[in-house]
Structure 1
């Protein structure tokens, strides 16, 4: 960026005035990133406050418990957000949090059954068992064309050439397209592999398959239908490669997946119990301002606060701000009075969050177990797209829970159902429930009345329609990792006092570990930019931080420091244009 290397060094030491010496750090949001930030600051002896706009902690970790029917029965819940975690190298910070920081024993982890041969693939109106399909069609050699989509003399309406059918969607996508790119992360450390992957960041999955792999468009659409969400292949190739590292980690052999016994909320509940300063709820941030009266060395936050029957505005002053708000939500905050580079402004406007919905249904029994389905996931081209069977339990009349995630989808698929989500029991949601029950009946080849006889209750959740999330997870477009994302990994403000956290400001979008890694980076960068925060000047606080919280796979400590200094120098250069 044209900045001389000799300038990427610490600046002059700043000593706060008595009026500013004891200001806390402001943490916006009491989700996983905010609570993890607080845990780190507690360990370093740095004061903070947590401001949460909603009435609860946890952010996009949300466990819904059914309480109206079968009160007191065990395992009557499903996850609206994060629900399963692979015990792999990439996720080590998540398991360090659970096992070491929160002291969770083996009884808090339940192994997830990720695959069941008795689960179903249902496409083009045809249902087949997953185990059977992997033998007859998706075996990498020959295809029986179970779903009647092959182009042949017999099937004039088919659209997939036989040579691609024979290889199978799994091989064409996971093995041939993504496999060589995942290998980057075996051959080199994460940061180096990521930089190598950036050479391809201009590509969507679709353009890479078309231009590099040479697949016909009809084949690409077929693979997307079988392997991903509708419209997903128009998004960044980088996203799909990074996501596949979690499901197909080449550094791990048959890793185990886990969910948390009682629901994922026990993670954020445990974090809440650990932090010394509890969140302040109903504090929706409306503005962030740097204060010229203090040479921009302090930040003011304005919030709308709502107590029962009463709402008013208040403000507070902080030494630094770590915002863990989803970028889509931060975009609604007034940032006119704090310096953001043009790159940061564009990033807040451009970087994308994808819609995603889940619909959980509580049944009288785990009726799918009578079909031999225990755990795993069914896929279909119908509106529900994915059906996730529980691996936790026992619930009622089954080995596992009787609560089913009857629809789990995202992107275009989720929008088709989200428009009906108008509140529990509303006429629109009754229509929604009818749609989902018909999907379940068609996929499982059961009379819909038989499923209604089993029905007890439901709950539908749309992350895009929630004002505190405005999307389920970040999912960037082509070129955005390389050209847009880096701007938000630099602090904002004339004195570098606003930091951006959350899974979107990491390379692990949609995963708890992304939120944790981003919190690590923000605290690290804040300590680099503002060594005056150190409550014990005789102690090396960066060393203490690394010793206690480890290094980051995403960020090299020394390069991270230079990244902070680079942001400072870029601001100086911009001031010359003013």
Structure 2
């Protein structure tokens, strides 16, 4: 080996936390620096960059932002790692051979930098026992992934605290009629690759989901307009301006809430599309702000203008963006009091959640629902598992025992005297539920503990009514779509038939609320009969929403009293569900506050407990609040663990190829970064 003064090549070997790594690992880098051989890199950096840029055009904007954040996080951690005997500038090393600093993706198709794991290898024949906490869609998907890989000497157990599987995928049936149902949890799905593979494997019947309906009402400040009339809604259609006796400046209502949000948000969309790096930096510049703060301090809106926009706005699109991504028509809906108090970057990324720099068609991402209810997916997944979930098994504590090389994880179930031992734990519980588990020292990273304590979970309440018939179709000619209003019910979702030959369902999702609105509606949940205060509120609100529709026989408006009589006469029963009061979720979905996505997301996707503990679920993904995020997180966690098993010689590297062949690749975090995350998890203490 050529002599060098750089401490990186000390003759006694590199000491990483007291563990020696042999010098042969650095042979290629010595030759690279001293010019003794051609570097082990693609032909030129420029070529790689161009290739990577082409690849990035196939990724959604949220995925690209997630990649950038995780890459930066790994880069910084390598730079600040404590390498005791050789004070190596890892930032130099990583920027040269792994990342092109400031660019969002790895330069190499594989990483030559990760050294072999020190210590005695684990015998491949030793059993691998895996614990999956939670039988929601993440936990069930993990089981399916493990079954498909058929790893030798590997078994898994799924522990579910409640008495049913599915988690936030939950369908309520109003009796034996298969058509009398509504989805209490997840109810709409984008046509994207991970979901498509799962639905195809489970033989799921999908039906197009229609956001828009031509005859759907918008009702604000006691004034009704149909959505088909929106093009003519100018000059304060809901009479909230000062000239009409309201509090909102006339210039605000004349411009319109939708137009103002387009003006405020479109620059971010345009920059992300034209030059992602510049757009990402621009977005991060305001990541510390709430949406309300940005509209006040940067756009210059007054208090009542912001309240008006939060209440009535639906779209955040510029004309340029509209022509490029038509599906963004439904990308953002404020539809909840208080959502402007959350992160600006979260609001913008929500609008771009499944949008891509180069759309493959003119319609954008298509949306679907599951015929018969989303729980059909859970039932199909359960049938394909080799290990049935254990219900009623609430985990109270998780501990990491570093001295136990084979099964270092201890999981305590509340009904059992002794903890169970596992090789690895995949915790798919929601973060609020995870917070109630006693996790000992070394089980979590410090950043993960802060994230679990701090990540904001939004409230969501759904209330559906079973009527004798679909009166909204009969009397108002409404087929699909949704109504929006400042009434307490906020959003009303109209059912559409499962097929063209079917009659519309008689189940109406009368109220779908988030945030503060959801908490207020949840306080009225009663016994499910029409005598309750909640039932009265539903009938009253629906009558107000539909009173101005014209009776085709008399050719006059129904009016409030007549419409109320129709609705009350059709009313049979209701079902209401508040996700915040569900002890097994303690919230509907993660909705990050200012700076939380940038700081907490890269922590939540990191292995913990020396590579034996993985946090999985929608909150631990870029696409939080979506089932696709749950699936991505399960794939990510398993891939990280497979890297550990490969490093230890317990499984062959081709297992990763088998995973990609069967289930596709993970776009959210590149495989090279997952490998680095696992390596760093084993060389640093938690």
Fold match (TM-score > 0.5): yes
SS where residue 468 of structure 1 aligns? coil
Distance (Å, rounded) in 1 between the aligned partners of 2:401 and 2:286: 42
Distance (Å, rounded) in 1 between the aligned partners of 2:680 and 2:462: 42
Which residues of 2 match residues 74-85 of structure 1 at below 5 A? Answer: 74-85=178-189
TM-score (norm 2): 0.73
SS where residue 524 of structure 2 aligns? coil
1:334 aligned to which of 438, 445, 448:
438
* Alignment of 1:124 onto 2:221: yes
* Alignment of 1:286 onto 2:396: yes
2:268 aligned to which of 181, 187, 191:
181
* Alignment of 1:551 onto 2:637: no
Partner of 1:308: none
Distance (Å, rounded) in 2 between the aligned partners of 1:475 and 1:383: 22
Partner of 1:508: 623
SS where residue 379 of structure 1 aligns? strand
Where structure 2 has 5 or more consecutive residues not aligned to the other structure, the ranges are 1-75, 82-89, 95-112, 314-333, 548-559
Partner of 2:656: 542
Distance (Å, rounded) in 2 between the aligned partners of 1:411 and 1:61: 20
Distance (Å, rounded) in 2 between the aligned partners of 1:198 and 1:560: 23
1:188 Cα shift? 6.7
1:160 aligned to which of 228, 235, 249:
249
Distance (Å, rounded) in 2 between the aligned partners of 1:16 and 1:181: 50
Where structure 1 has 5 or more consecutive residues not aligned to the other structure, the ranges are 138-142, 306-311
SS where residue 460 of structure 1 aligns? strand
Larger Rg: 2
Partner of 2:20: none
1:75 Cα shift? 1.4
Distance (Å, rounded) in 1 between the aligned partners of 2:539 and 2:431: 35
Which structure has more RCO (C-alpha within 8 Å, separation ≥ 6)?
Answer: 1
Distance (Å, rounded) in 2 between the aligned partners of 1:39 and 1:159: 54
Distance (Å, rounded) in 1 between the aligned partners of 2:295 and 2:146: 45
Distance (Å, rounded) in 2 between the aligned partners of 1:85 and 1:51: 26
Partner of 1:171: 259
Asked whether the 8 Å contact 1:288–1:338 carries over to 2, the reply is no
Asked whether the 8 Å contact 2:248–2:308 carries over to 1, the reply is no
1:117 Cα shift? 2.0
1:467 aligned to which of 563, 578, 583:
583
* Alignment of 1:63 onto 2:159: no
SS where residue 509 of structure 2 aligns? strand
1:525 aligned to which of 630, 636, 640:
640
1:266 Cα shift? 1.3
Partner of 1:491: 607
Distance (Å, rounded) in 2 between the aligned partners of 1:423 and 1:341: 44
1:17 Cα shift? 6.6
Moved more, 265-274 or 52-61: 265-274
Partner of 2:348: 241
2:482 aligned to which of 377, 401, 407:
377
1:150 Cα shift? 2.0
Partner of 2:118: 12
Distance (Å, rounded) in 2 between the aligned partners of 1:299 and 1:450: 60
SS where residue 566 of structure 1 aligns? helix
SS where residue 408 of structure 1 aligns? strand
- Relative to structure 1, the CA distance from residue 366 to residue 534 in structure 2 (aligned partners, 3 Å threshold; closer, same or farther) is farther
Distance (Å, rounded) in 2 between the aligned partners of 1:545 and 1:188: 33
SS where residue 433 of structure 1 aligns? helix
Partner of 2:298: 212
Asked whether the 8 Å contact 2:121–2:648 carries over to 1, the reply is no
1:183 Cα shift? 4.2
1:215 Cα shift? 2.8
Which residues of 2 match residues 93-492 of structure 1 at below 5 A? Answer: 93-99=194-200, 101-104=201-204, 108-132=205-229, 134-137=230-233, 143-152=234-243, 155-162=244-251, 164-173=252-261, 175-183=262-270, 186-187=273-274, 197-227=283-313, 228=334, 229-246=336-353, 251=359, 253-255=362-364, 256-295=366-405, 298-305=408-415, 312-313=416-417, 315-369=419-473, 370-393=475-498, 399-421=503-525, 424=528, 430-445=532-547, 446-447=560-561, 448-492=564-608
Asked whether the 8 Å contact 2:396–2:413 carries over to 1, the reply is yes
* Alignment of 1:53 onto 2:172: no
- Relative to structure 1, the CA distance from residue 547 to residue 200 in structure 2 (aligned partners, 3 Å threshold; closer, same or farther) is farther
**What is the RMSD computed on CA atoms of the aligned residues?**
2.7
Distance (Å, rounded) in 2 between the aligned partners of 1:207 and 1:49: 46
- Relative to structure 1, the CA distance from residue 552 to residue 176 in structure 2 (aligned partners, 3 Å threshold; closer, same or farther) is farther
- Relative to structure 1, the CA distance from residue 532 to residue 567 in structure 2 (aligned partners, 3 Å threshold; closer, same or farther) is closer
1:193 Cα shift? 7.0
1:330 Cα shift? 0.3
TM-score (norm 1): 0.86
Asked whether the 8 Å contact 1:75–1:392 carries over to 2, the reply is no
Partner of 1:309: none
Partner of 2:193: 92
- Relative to structure 1, the CA distance from residue 500 to residue 382 in structure 2 (aligned partners, 3 Å threshold; closer, same or farther) is same
Distance (Å, rounded) in 2 between the aligned partners of 1:226 and 1:286: 44
1:182 Cα shift? 3.4
1:97 Cα shift? 1.4
SS where residue 581 of structure 2 aligns? coil
Distance (Å, rounded) in 1 between the aligned partners of 2:309 and 2:451: 31
Asked whether the 8 Å contact 1:290–1:296 carries over to 2, the reply is no
Moved more, 287-296 or 551-560: 287-296
1:243 Cα shift? 1.6
1:40 Cα shift? 1.2
